[in-house]
Amino acid sequence: MNERYEPVIGIECHVELKTATKMFCGCCNEFGGEPNTKICPVCLGLPGALPVPNRRAIEHIVTVGVAFGSTIAEFSKFDRKNYFYPDMPKDYQISQYDMPVAAGGSVKYWIEDGELRECRLTRVHLEEDTGKSTHAGSTDGRIAGSEYSLIDFNRAGVPLMECVSEPDLRSAQEAVAYLEALRRTLLALGVSDVKMEEGSLRCDANVSVRPVGSSSYGTKTEIKNMNSFRSVERAIASEVARQIAIVESGGRIEQETRGWDEINGVTHSMRSKEEAHDYRYFPDPDLVPLEISPAEVRRVTQTLPELPAQRFERYTARYSIAPRQTAQLIDNPALAGYFERVLALGARPAQAINFVLGDLSRLANETGVAVAESAVTPEYLSGVIALVEDRRITSKVAKDVLARCWHGEGAPAAIVEREGLARQSDTGALVPLVDQMLAAHPAVVADYRAGKQNVLGFLVGLVMKASRGTADPVVVKELLNERLSSG
Amino acid sequence: MPASNELLERSAAEIAAAVNERRVSAAEVTRATLERVVATEPNVGAYLTVLAEAALAEAASVDRRVAQGERLPLAGVPLAVKDNMCLTGSRTTCGSKILEQWIAPYTSTAVARMLAAGAIPIGKTNCDEFAMGSSCENSALGITRNPYDLLRVPGGSSGGSAAAVAAFEAAIGLGSDTGGSIREPGAFCGVVGFKPTYGRVSRYGLIAFASSLDQIGPLTRTVEDAALTYDAMAGFDPMDATSVQEPVEPAAPALRDDLHGLRVGIVREFDPGALGGAMDALYRAAYAGLERLGAELVEVSLPTAEYGVATYYLIAPAECSSNLARFDGVRYGLRVAGRDVRGMYDATRAAGFGEEVKRRILIGTHALSSGYYDAYYVRAQKARTLIADDFRGAFASCDLIACPAASCPAFRFGAKSDPYSMYLMDYYTIPMSLAGLPAISVPCGWVQPPDGNEPLPIGLQLCGPLFAERLLLGAAHAYERATNHRATHAPLAQRLTA
């Protein structure tokens, strides 16, 4: 990227909310299904049908607003956004215009270095989703040039949250990190599945560039059709490069909407500002204003779970866990929960994190069983950690014990007992083992005596192995030193 | 016993009593009504669709319920439903080509409640397209004639229901009133037209014209029937977020015979002198009639009421421009091919909507467009608030308001070809609609028009505060009972049929 320019990015997200029923009717809110099976007069927008708001969806938005520190409007309303599109049943969308449920607030996110950053939110509001069109016979899957279109209204009327950020993001990486933080938080709040591949999270990016040091904004373009976090990153990077090239060559950026072309890795113009819609917003006369009492907001605030960003701060600041490890844990809420239970049983965070992200995660990968679902209960892991801490087993044995626990061989203490895996620090017991190794490897002993002192580690390893890891490595080393120098 | 024409000319209350007492069956009433419809329709044209089969099936079901001992408030009562209300399996057109072939797959709450009360759906009645008009002339699907003079309009937009009731083709007509669409045709056809408080009757299944104004109500030959209909339909509906939670006290048991203790406001700004000598005399006599019944007449002022029409013709078109967007050729039958999807929209809507509907969509689209929204829509909403405030002020010194229901009797076809003169037909009814108030039109006399041979009915409008339906219907009943203007002349359609 050109170092003289700074990208300025804002993200607009649409998130389908997880509720039992749709936004304004009693139809089942569930992804997929045979086309046009989850429909009724209301979500089909049939003449005469009327919307009745879903209280749960409103609660979800309030929850999201509270979680991001937004101001919750005591008085809000629904507006109609008027435009024509075949899969929009009423040819208007019930949305919110000038009085969103939540305004302001911010999303805290982090990138690889683990530094916590913040992106301010403009607003969070509630609206309804449209149906889904399949355009047949056009080269690019768009309606223009298609022979016919099929419409599935199962999605029509699904509660949709629109979340608009301020232009606070300065790179494609930050944009993705912001989206990841948003996704994580919504998952933690239980308000959405946030699956980009199922369309329950969709996002557009507003992108502009400006010379580094400038405080005014350049002309922005809006990027659409990004279907994964990866494509968000690629699309923004590509658009930033395109804009910088235009500005560098003395050209002017057109304000327009651009579509991301995944295959060719470029954005292309979709429509210009002149073609922009006049949505003719006005308050929906079918719905009464929304009142959200301070008591309701208090109730939501009190029942809020710990948010990923708060957890991030707790882990990094209080437990001194490395940001990268923290991020790994936070991205796997079940694993984080497991980790927390191990801590609650008295394990030290530094110990616990190494086992959880190290041995146990490796075993999980090998066996396809999640750590939290495995035979290694938090009690077992904390037991193993205690055995190590108490110097009753070596850390080498700990790995072995954990693997045995994983494979259902029982409780750690019992395994240690049964298999004779207790730490051996007793010189008397270890001397024969050491002597045996020295006798078996005269060449190595000769090397050592010839000055290659680094073979000592190799010898320690041999003894450890022969003791199935139970030998106290410090004692073994001492014994070896003693024997080799005296011999 | 076959139901006689005589029974069909009685009130809904009397028909229901006869069916409940099993003096006549709902099936007999229905068959007789369907015969009456066949004989009358060539002259009147009230119905767009006659639901003979559905009506007979419903009648059989009512007879079964009555035989099992149920007493239904509207047992076997022939019902005419304005064709902007959905009824499962019935063609529901709104008088528009764009919905000409659309069969509703669900039933509106108001109609469902009427059927639950025992009413029999005889058919779907003509109306101005999407309820936009005051004469039924804006219907794309048929002409409805005034039963009192076949050369004249029945009023609108609920003209089909008003004409059906006046011509005894039904005992109750359901209409919808947005700016006067029940009260004006009621006055034109010499029947009672009642618009309840906005939100009293669920709008679920009523195809919207202007959502913040639309209200379903009855057209009947007696005030008692209007009360019975209201009692059957009113009340909260979980399917309509704007329907009110206020408890509904039945109005039929509260009908009264005098107006003692009531203060009736006469609106200073609505001087009937402006309507010409005959109308002036008639309204003055009507006000005097109220006084004779014990009411105290007081003068009240509605200074902003004159802005009603201007206000209404911003708010109603704005809402309709959005409500009617869904008729785009993708669904509902009519589709005219275009070069692309936008071309298809344009061609379909150009072919499917009539002049008046297009005019209002254009006005409304303009009023909501960016740059004009504040000047038109927002300002109109402010005016609406002022008009409602005026009524609140007036009701501080009176219990009810009396005024004309329309500025003239039924006019000849084509007489109001200029849209603005048609808009002015609702001058006296629009302010109440904007304020959401309950209002009723009751026959208050006859005028002999200079351009016709038949005497024409005139309506008195009574209006009450929000949720004062009981009081309003009670007072209208007292006036009706004391004057009985309907009995003075039989409709021409009745004479032609007999």
Candidate from A138-142, A282-286, A410-414, A475-479 with smallest mean pLDDT? A138-142
Query: Nearest-CA residue of chain B relative to A87?
Result: B330
Element (H or E) spanning B485, and its range? none
Q: How many domains does chain A have?
A: 3
Are A84 and B373 an interchain contact pair (Cβ–Cβ within 8 Å)?
no
The 10s digit of each residue's pLDDT in A30-62 is 998 999 999 999 999 999 999 999 999 999 999
Residues A146 and A255 in one domain: yes
Mean per-residue pLDDT for B259-268? 98
Nearest to B108 among A42, A48, A282 (CB): A48
CATH (domain of B254)? 3.90.1300.10
Q: Last residue of some domain: A299, A325, A345?
A: A299
Residue B248, pLDDT > 80, answer: yes
Residue A366 lies in a domain: yes
CB contact under 8 A, A47 and B322: no
A212 and A253 part of one domain? yes
Residues A355 and A448 placed together within one structural domain of the fold? no
- Torsion angle of the four alpha carbons A274, A277, A278, A282, in this order, in degrees rounded to the nearest 10: -160
Q: What is the per-residue pLDDT across A185-225, written as a single tens digit (0 to 9) for each?
A: 999 999 999 999 889 999 999 999 999 999 999 999 999 99
| A141 or B115: which leads in pLDDT | B115
Nearest CA in chain B to A144: B340
If you count DSSP H runs as helices and E runs as strands, how many of each does chain B have, helices first?
17, 11
- Residue pair B169/B40 in contact by the 8 Å Cβ criterion: yes
How is residue B174 annotated by DSSP? E
Q: ipTM score of the complex? A: 0.96
* Nearest Cα residue in chain A from B365: A280
Residues A339 and A250 in one domain: no
Our CA angle for A261, A262, A263, nearest 5°, is: 95
A52–B206 C-beta distance less than 8 A: no
Q: What is the pLDDT of residue A272?
A: 76
Which residues lie below 8 Å from residue B376, measured CB to CB, with a gap of 6+? B314, B318, B366, B367, B368
Q: What angle do CA B16, B19, B20 make, to 5 degrees?
A: 80
Shortest distance between the Cα of B375 and any Cα of chain A, in A, equals: 13
Given a contact cutoff of 8 angstroms between Cβ atoms, the answer to whether B320 and B360 are in contact is yes
Residue A287's closest CA among A146, A90, A446, A480?
A90
- Residue A254 falls within a domain, yes or no? yes
Question: Distance between CA atoms of A150 and A20, rounded to whole angstroms?
Answer: 26
Please tell me the predicted confidence (pLDDT) of residue A448: 86
| Chain A residues within an 8 Å CB radius of B242 | 50, 285-288
Structural domain contains residue A316 = no
Q: Mind listing the pLDDT tens digit for each residue in A75-86? A: 999 999 999 999
The pLDDT value recorded for residue A343 is: 94
- Among the candidates A273, A299, A325, a domain finishes at A299
User: Do both A434 and A415 map to the same domain?
Assistant: no
Considering the domain architecture, whether residues A31 and A172 belong to the same structural domain is answered as: yes
Q: Which domain holds residue B146?
A: 1-498
Out of B204, B332, B365, the one facing A48 most closely (by C-beta) is: B204
pLDDT band per the 50, 70, 90 thresholds, residue A146: confident
What's the pLDDT score for residue A118?
A: 96
Specify whether A207 is located in the same domain as A347.
no
Q: B164-193 pLDDT, tens per residue? A: 999 999 999 999 999 999 999 999 999 999
Q: Is residue B19 packed enough to be buried (19+ CB in 10 Å), middle (13-18) or exposed (0-12)?
A: buried
Residues A352 and A447 occupy one common structural domain: no
In chain A, residues with a C-beta closer than 8 Å to the C-beta of B321 are: 82, 280
Is the same domain home to A79 and A159?
A: yes
Among A240, A273, A299, the domain boundary falls at A299
Instruction: Please name the amino acid found at residue A61.
Output: I
Distance CA B296, CA A219 (A): 70
**How close A106 gets to chain B, by Cα (Å)?**
30
Q: Does the beta-carbon distance from A287 to B204 stay under 8 Å?
A: no
CB B99 within 8 A of CB B146: no
Q: pLDDT tens digits, residue range A322-354?
A: 888 898 888 888 999 999 999 999 999 999 999
- Take residue A100 and report the two structure tokens written for it: 């969103």
What is the DSSP secondary-structure string of B214-275? -EEEEEESSHHHHHHHHHHH-S--TT-TTS--SPPPPSGGG--S--TT-EEEEETT--GGGG
Can you tell me the mean pLDDT for B70-91? 98
Q: What is the pLDDT of residues A98-125, one digit of tens each?
A: 999 999 999 999 987 677 899 999 999 9
* pLDDT for res A140: 74
Tell me the mean pLDDT in the region B409-436.
94
Check CB contact under 8 Å for B322 and A80.
yes
Same structural domain for residues A71 and A210? yes
Chains A and B form CB pairs within 8 A to the count of: 98
Name the one residue in this structure whose structure tokens are 């066996």.
A367
Q: Which residue of A has its CA nearest to B240?
A: A50
In this prediction, residue B224 carries a pLDDT of: 98
pLDDT at A115: 79
For the entire predicted model, the pTM comes to 0.91
Q: Say yes or no: A371 and A437 in one domain.
A: no
Answer yes or no: are the C-beta atoms of A226 and A258 closer than 8 Å. no
> Of all residues in chain A, what percent carry a pLDDT higher than 70?
98
Residue A450 is assigned to a structural domain of this protein: yes
Residues of chain B in contact with residue A45, where contact means CB-CB under 8 angstroms, are 326
Q: How far is A282 from chain B (nearest CA, A)?
A: 7
**Active-site annotation of B, residues:** 82, 157, 181
Range of the domain at A350: 335-419
Say if residue B1's pLDDT is above 60: no
Q: What's the whole-number mean pLDDT along residues B457-473?
A: 98
Query: Searching chain A, which residue's CA lies closest to the CA of residue B102?
Result: A47
Which CATH number goes with the domain that contains A432?
1.10.10.410
pLDDT given at position A114: 72
Distances (CA, A) of B427 to B311, B312, B403, B430: 11, 10, 11, 6
pLDDT, position A323: 86
Taking CA atoms, A51 is separated from A99, A110, B321, in Å, by: 19, 40, 18
Taking residue A98's Cβ as centre, other Cβ atoms within 10 Å add up to 9
The C-alpha torsion from B382 through B383 and B388 to B394, rounded to 10°, is 130
Q: How far is B368 from chain A (nearest CA, A)?
A: 5
Task: Please check whether residues A264 and A409 belong to one and the same domain.
Answer: no
Nearest-neighbour CA in chain B from A157: distance (Å): 15
Query: Interface of chain A against chain B, CB under 8 Å?
Result: 41-42, 45-53, 80, 82, 84, 86, 89-92, 143-144, 151, 278, 280-282, 285-288
Please give the tally of structural domains in chain B: 1
HEC secondary structure over B394-434 = HCCCCCEEEEECCCCCCCECCCCCCHHHHHHHHCCCHHHHH
Which residue stretches of A3-119 are H helix?
A: 55-67
Q: Residue B92 and residue A47: Cβ atoms within 8 Å?
A: yes
Look at residue A166 in the predicted model and tell me its pLDDT.
98
